[in-house]
Structure 1
Amino acid sequence: MSSEGSLLCYNRGCGKRFNPDQNGDDACIHHPGAPFFHDAYKGWSCCKKKCTDFTEFLNIKGCSRSAHNGEKPVEPEKPEVDKSKASEVIEYKAPEPIKPSSLLRPPFQSPLIKLKYSISASLQQELEKVKATDNSSQIVENNFTSDGIRVGASCKNGGCKQTYVNESSNDSTCTYHAGVPIFHEGLKYWTCCTRRTSDFQAFLDQEGCSTGTHVWKTEKEEQIKKSVQCRQDWMQTGTHVIVNIYCKKPDPTNDSLTYVEVNPIRLRVRINLFAGGPSYNSDIELRGIIDTVNSSVTFTPNKVEIKLKKAEPMSWNKLDIPRQVPVEAAVDEEKKKQETEENLPKVDVLDLSDL
């Protein structure tokens, strides 16, 4: 309060001095609401106007009129601090590290068992619709012989163009190339032949240089060739690990084409789609150990849910352990590479200095 009898107005947004004798009902322009500060914006709860600059916020004109208020608002009480606990020491205990498994980890090549599975009602309806409208699955099954060879399957020997018709196809002579194809500096040829060409079709039509018996592609090889990649994720609870494989319309009716096999540390999955379509294949080593007897699979129209029971209650930081190529296999592959390079025909070095 000043000595001249003027008072300070405590209404928000006003802050002017006024004469109490001349304080009309509309003398004060102020904000009846409270200020707010949110996400770098500043404003008043009674106004729609917002800004990011603090000076601009202070200059926002009031939105209501009333008489000036000379009474200072009561400040909110501050909570009392209990000084009796000022010397108390707060102890923090770090989380206990994950304990290693106490169970003996079996070999990766341990015997596999097929998990028991269930089919959802919606997928069962889809299966019935397919069987009622199209017998394509039966046609595909009948298209294979008892030896698992598809009628029309091609011979696997390089350069042979024969296809399988019936058992008499085994009696015909296979004319093929015993070597491997080479594509080098525009030339195409077989390591077992000296004939070379730059035309790809002429290379395909080149008659084989060796004779023998046919080697037909089996049903399993035909299906593996059609394998596809599907999106996969996993989650875990205290007792289970759930693996979801997202694929449309899995076909669990044929146990030889669709199955989920496990041992305590291994998960091998093969999912065949409708009408002899492509298949999904996966074979991983699990991070933890599972109870194979109490694990199960559920087939739905859009995914396959694999529920693995943990053999012991522990947290898995990952689903699988990346498997390395065995040393013996790597050595064999390197030997094959060296033998192939040794069998390549030698090309004389040309002197191009005169060109």
Structure 2
Amino acid sequence: MSVLCYNKGCGQRFDPDKNSDDACTYHPGVPVFHDALKGWSCCKRRTTDFSDFLSIAGCTKGPHNQEKPSEPVKPEVKSSVDKNVNDGKPKFNECITQAPKPLESIQRPSPDEPFSSLQQKISPSLEQALEKLTLTEENAQEIKEEDSDEIKIGTSCKNGGCSKTFSGPASDEETCLYHAGVPIFHEGMKYWSCCKRKTSDFNTFLSQEGCTQGKHQWKKKDTGKKVVPCRFDWHQTGSQVIISIYAKNSVPELSSVEGNSTVLKIHIIFEGEKEFEQQISLWGVIDASRSLVNMMATKIEVVLKKAEPMSWARLDLPPVAPPKEKEKDVDSEDEFSTPKENKTLEYLPPQQVPQIPRAQPTVEGFQS
């Protein structure tokens, strides 16, 4: 006589007299349905099709089970509201909640307050990157060639967007078409900050013709540190403002971030010879003593502690526009004041005003 096995994932019939310890292959876990994926908690296989889920082979061996699992007992729902027999109306516990008192706004401090350096925290990834960052022989040879006055044939132009190479003294007479800005890669689009012709294809971006005319630059202008722009963005939480500066392999010993309650000064040295400087007049007020700088291998995060829990509309405070000069009202001048000279009109004395001849009337019998 065969009976049905109630192990999950089995569903076969078996003979109880021939039920060995490894006769059944089943799932000891429970079904898991999450984000359109179906599977068992005891194994890692997942599928989106329900038929495939039912056909997933068991992951555990054991004897068949002929005992039908008991149905889960539904919990009894007890009403917490006692009804009054006399009036039949429910009674509720009265609870009064008061709104919190509004916070007093902080008066904006002066931007001339003394600056203090924000605490630095160096990540292990940056420490490992700085240890591996050594000057190779190829880079050293390239620097020696750039320091020499001789320009070799085939040297490429250092201006952005120019693909010309040096072929002789005649190359110095050519007009260089280059991009004076910096390349920007944002949300899949690639463009130059100077002309902003956006494209999603990298080869098309490289082949964009320059928007500025000038002379070829066969050597790098700066032999030391170069001030370059860095892409940075910001986001905020209820109590913090986080500024992310995307600069790789920053040097903590040469970098600093200083600030007071309303102004932030950022000075970053990264990749050995590049320098980034930025001064931001903050939109809100911060607590510089509780702010810090997280320095990582790929970026720097400046974590600013808000002085008051409020949402910032933007990161920087827009500059105050100069007041416009009030135009003098002509009608408000005194009636007896001397009128100003009007250069657009030319007045003629009565003697010089041309007289328009009038037609003489004719009377019948008389000459006009």
TM-score by length of 1: 0.38
In proportion to residue count, which structure has more helix? 1
